[in-house]
Structure 1
């Protein structure tokens, strides 16, 4: 599974959320997976808005023997501290916007900073981060959700830039942003009215299938759950 060696190691960040928990379960059920570590704020105290917390979490994984073949970042939030996405630029609150960036852009950047060094240099490895199609500038035709869109657009740039740097030391690495689609979680229950919702388990299976087919030449790109590439 996933194109890794037998006994591969994986880390799931944000493993207490709907998608993260489902990815964790799927990896635990893969007989090829030698070890999977799940980390989250709820269960392990890993707070992506605190660099010391992220660094400590990465050190804990690094203390185990071996490198990490897959880092799956399922962190992020649409509604933060009870504040949902604003519908117009007139509703922008700078504190709310800053919190969106802290959770959805800076947090994942810190995760990449501290977990990318755990990737192997001599074989294929993957660092995947959950983004969102609404973070695509080229695909934006509806407007709204400015803070969330902007934070995810920033995340996409972080992924793109990090992929270039990581490839210098890990030439077989694949660093990508993934759009999971509309998934039946607490987030979509509040903000989504889509007929095509899928369960977290279905989303996890689709995303892991995409990861399975990715090659190093595709590093630094943005893919949907069905494997199609999304415009930046």
Structure 2
């Protein structure tokens, strides 16, 4: 079985850096998604990676607010990577949007709805159409081919993007009602989906959620000044850590399935 890797979306921020890091450190095909300008997205990702075969990178249109586009992207992946010969080894499902409401009266219905559609329902619909690519539990994982280079662990991992503020246990300040709630919901989806993956894939695959840290991207730009410099991560650093925890044999293993982990490999209580 040949592995392929997926980062969705990957036009900017952490996803963009993840795609570049996977291309540089592995030999497997990498599928990325974007809502528009696929050629431009692919050019930006490949910029400076002259040693990488650009045929390894496939860019697909996908809008997390449009289930039809998710379904069409999954059909294209099925055509490119027939299930009988290929398996989805890494899937980073990481859309995100943030409207920080400091008090209840600041909650805007349309913005809150968009938050849940992007952060929660979009990943859930993505899971509906893409989970078919994870390995069956009957498969014997042979990682001897060149395509597995850089993937030390044979365990397939499905990763949702969560956030520390989605933890009810960790909530000490309140606020951010729609964003916190959308990420709490992702944590629940992660647990439920992992139970399904365990039935389908056995010990060949698992689902987890991850917190990338406070990263210097457009999503968190409003809060950069309030974060200590040693706790504000560059996107490249966060991406490298999140990938390392999922590609290395000493990363998050089967005993961590269905749970939430931060970029340091520390568990976050739900």
Please give the TM-score of this superposition, normalised by the length of structure 1.
Answer: 0.90
1:85 paired to 2:100: yes
Contact 1:128–1:175 (Cα < 8 Å) also in 2: yes
Secondary structure in structure 2 of the residue aligned to 1:176: strand
Q: Structure 1: 5+ residue runs without aligned partners?
A: 79-83
Partner of 2:125: 110
Q: CA deviation at 1:218?
A: 1.7
Q: CA RMSD in A?
A: 1.5
| Alpha-carbon distance in 2 for matches of 1:201, 1:108 | 23
Partner of 2:176: 145
| Alpha-carbon distance in 2 for matches of 1:190, 1:217 | 36
Count of residue pairs the alignment pairs up: 221
Contact 2:252–2:265 (Cα < 8 Å) also in 1: no
The 5-angstrom pairing of residues 52-67 of structure 1 reads: 52-65=68-81, 66-67=86-87
Partner of 1:36: 30
Secondary structure in structure 1 of the residue aligned to 2:19: helix
User: Which piece of structure 1 moves more, 157-166 or 56-65?
Assistant: 56-65
CA deviation map 1:109-139 (0-9, x unaligned)? 1111111111112342110011110011110
Secondary structure in structure 1 of the residue aligned to 2:14: helix
Picking from 93, 97, 118, the partner of 1:73 is 93
| Alpha-carbon distance in 1 for matches of 2:34, 2:131 | 17
| Alpha-carbon distance in 2 for matches of 1:134, 1:17 | 22
1:161 paired to 2:221: no
1:202 paired to 2:237: yes
Q: CA deviation at 1:99?
A: 1.2
1:231 paired to 2:269: yes
Partner of 2:213: 181
Please give the TM-score of this superposition, normalised by the length of structure 2.
Answer: 0.78
User: Which piece of structure 1 moves more, 43-52 or 156-165?
Assistant: 43-52
Q: CA deviation at 1:96?
A: 1.8
Q: Structure 2: 5+ residue runs without aligned partners?
A: 39-59, 142-154
Answer with 1 or 2: which has the greater Rg.
2
1:13 paired to 2:48: no
| Alpha-carbon distance in 2 for matches of 1:47, 1:191 | 27
| Alpha-carbon distance in 2 for matches of 1:53, 1:191 | 33
| Alpha-carbon distance in 2 for matches of 1:191, 1:114 | 35
